[in-house]
Amino acid sequence: MGLVPARRRIRGQFLDEPLTVQGGRLLRVEGRGDLWLSPWCSGCVLFALSLDKDVLFLREENVVAWGDELVWEWGRVPGGGPALLQFRGTGRLVITAIPDDLVAVRVDEGDALSILSRRLMGWVGRVVAQAVSGEEVPPEDRYVTCAGVGVVLLSKHGNPARSDNKPAQPGHDGPSGHRASRPGLHR
């Protein structure tokens, strides 16, 4: 087996920038052999996901591995939001998260879900995300609005894979986790 530094890919083109997560590089493994993976955050475990002709967006720091059968791109939520990896097609990937921390919230046509950026883990489907920018607000304290049709993946208390994560205090979700048309959906 050989290891080669992975590079960012945008609009089908590889860039001369390394694909990094939490300050470490992601590596491309070439050849045959056994590969052992482990989560890189305290209290996290690995989850294997299978996509079947799906489109999945995930925070880059939660992605551990994926197979060549998936088409992928690197990007960022517009407006200064978190960096994401987009996966399309049919195949498998491995993510890291704290058990029982992920929540899936359905977004229907005409609905909008506004959440703290640090709670957004990703989404499946035709969801459009936009960060609400504010120069005086740190990126992790900005809100992201998700609209369209799909399922938004949230962390109950903030993203544990980030080293600069500040988890929400119990009982204090702020105005995040609500739909504009139906308040009080997620607690």
Please tell me the distance from the alpha carbon of residue 64 to that of residue 92, in angstroms, as a whole number: 11
Three-class SS of residue 12?
coil
**pLDDT for residue 112:** 93
**pLDDT tens-digit readout, 37-80:** 777 777 888 899 999 999 999 998 888 888 878 888 888 899 88
Write down the pLDDT at residue 6: 72
- Give the whole-angstrom CA distance, residue 118 versus residue 115: 8
pLDDT in single tens digits along all 187 residues of the chain: 766 667 677 777 777 776 666 556 666 677 788 777 777 777 888 899 999 999 999 998 888 888 878 888 888 899 888 889 999 999 999 888 888 888 999 999 999 999 999 999 999 999 999 998 766 777 677 899 999 999 999 998 776 555 444 444 334 344 434 333 333 333 2
Contact 95, 26 (CB under 8 A): no
Of 152, 147, 157, nearest to 118 by C-alpha is 157
Residue pair 165/159 in contact (Cβ under 8 Å)? The answer is yes
Q: Which two tokens stand for residue 126?
A: 């035709």
Query: Residues, the chain, total?
Result: 187
As to burial, measured by CB atoms within 10 angstroms (0-12 exposed, 13-18 middle, 19+ buried), residue 182 is exposed
User: Tell me, what's the pLDDT at 159?
Assistant: 63
Give residue 68's pLDDT. 79
Type of residue numbered 60: E
Q: Are 3 and 65 a contacting pair, CB within 8 Å?
A: no
Q: In the prediction, which pLDDT does 174 show?
A: 40
Rg (CA), the chain: 17
Structure tokens at 99: 């058990």
Residues forming a β-bridge with 86: 57, 73
